[in-house]
Amino acid sequence: MATLADVLAERTAEAASELVEPISNNRLRCHACGHLCPIPDGAVGVCKVRFNRGGTLMVPWGYVGALQCDPIEKKPFFHARPGALAFSFGMLGCDLHCSYCQNWVTSQALRDPQAVAPPIDVEPTSLVEEAVRLNARVVVSTYNEPLITSEWAVGIFKEARAAGLMTAYVSNGNGTPRVLEYIRPWIDLYKVDLKSFNDRHYRQLGGRLQPILDTIRALHAMSIWVEIVTLLIPGFNNSDEEISELTSFLAGVSPDIPWHVTAFHKDYRMSDPENTTPDMLMRAAEIGQKNGLRYVYAGNIPGQVGDLEHTRCHQCRALLVERYGYFIQSYRLTPEGTCPECHTSVPGRWGRAFEGQIASMPFLPGRRRLRLF
Ligand code: SF4
């Protein structure tokens, strides 16, 4: 019987030349993520989805492992088209192996036999046609690590841009200079999970801290709109010292980068820590604000985090976007993206007007229209 790896090996294309470096004797170095794997002929990279076949790097192409319509607030982006529908797709596989992953069915499909997520064959054009039909404003590569499947994301993003849509990554940020240059012409928004500010913790998850910090700096320098999420896990990353270092770093890149500190709930293989409480989130948010971040949000516990779901003008504190969970309750930014009270410019990728909200909860798109059956 064919394994999932066999099935996926049939759904591949040659890697983009920008992401491959020949080494010697058919060995290749992959530049799609910060692991920079040297891959001998016949071997796979750490992510298990990119592999060397006879001196050619083969990469995922032509399928999705997950497809869903999300409110953009779920990604989360709070400073990009509030209320927009985010047409979200993912492939399979990841370059990290976080034990608390909330997308483990897709991200760990090649490592964990319990993660069963069969691929669904699809063309970029039919994905984008469905996104347009549903009035989505953004197409998002998410659910697995998008960097490791960047060729497929760019294939879809080219169609999405041609249809007038924005594009986004929801990523662990384990990038490289080459992959960021490769996606740069085709991407508008980028969410990075900054999981910790401790390299030892990152190594437990299968990565390193430095490539993530370098990616955040590079994305900001490229004028790609960046928002950062830290899932606050009691006993793992929630010490005052670590949160202070993390938020000082972000404020040093730019005080205008929105930082979302979100609540952990027991998931996948991490069931030891207690769930994050509202008080823990508010304590971390206070540290971030003291360190200079102007837009700090607390997530995953709607209605219990005081003011920390809303966007306020950093200058006069006027209420600009009022939220409950993913639901937009009010929107007061001007068409120019400024505060209506004091006219301070509010950083982000705002529309000329709030266009309402199609959904404040995720839903599945029409599979028949996508010709997925
Ligand atoms: S994407 Fe990352 S993990 Fe996968 S082969 Fe390339 S460098 Fe290695």
Each residue of 304-360: pLDDT tens digit? Answer: 999 999 999 999 999 999 999 999 999 999 999 999 999 999 999 999 999 999 888
Residue 179 C-alpha to ligand 1 middle, in angstroms?
11
Considering the chain, what percentage of its residues have pLDDT values greater than 70?
93
Which residues lie below 8 Å from residue 248, measured CB to CB, with a gap of 6+? Answer: 291, 292
- The answer to whether residue 368 scores a pLDDT higher than 60 is no
For ligand 1, atom 5, which residue shows the shortest CA distance?
A: 45
Which residues lie below 8 Å from residue 56, measured CB to CB, with a gap of 6+? Answer: 14, 15
- The answer to whether residue 369 scores a pLDDT higher than 70 is no
pTM of the model: 0.94
Residue 144 C-alpha to ligand 1 middle, in angstroms?
13
Q: What is the mean pLDDT of the chain?
A: 92
Average pLDDT over residues 220-247: 97
Look at residue 4 in the predicted model and tell me its pLDDT: 81
- Does the beta carbon of 48 sit less than 6 angstroms from any atom of ligand 1? no
- Does the beta carbon of 194 sit less than 6 angstroms from any atom of ligand 1? no
Residue 355 C-alpha to ligand 1 middle, in angstroms?
39
- Does the beta carbon of 32 sit less than 6 angstroms from any atom of ligand 1? yes
| 92-106, 238-252, 255-269: segment of lowest average pLDDT | 92-106
Band of pLDDT at residue 363, cut at 50, 70 and 90: confident
Residue 149 C-alpha to ligand 1 middle, in angstroms?
9
- The answer to whether residue 289 scores a pLDDT higher than 80 is yes
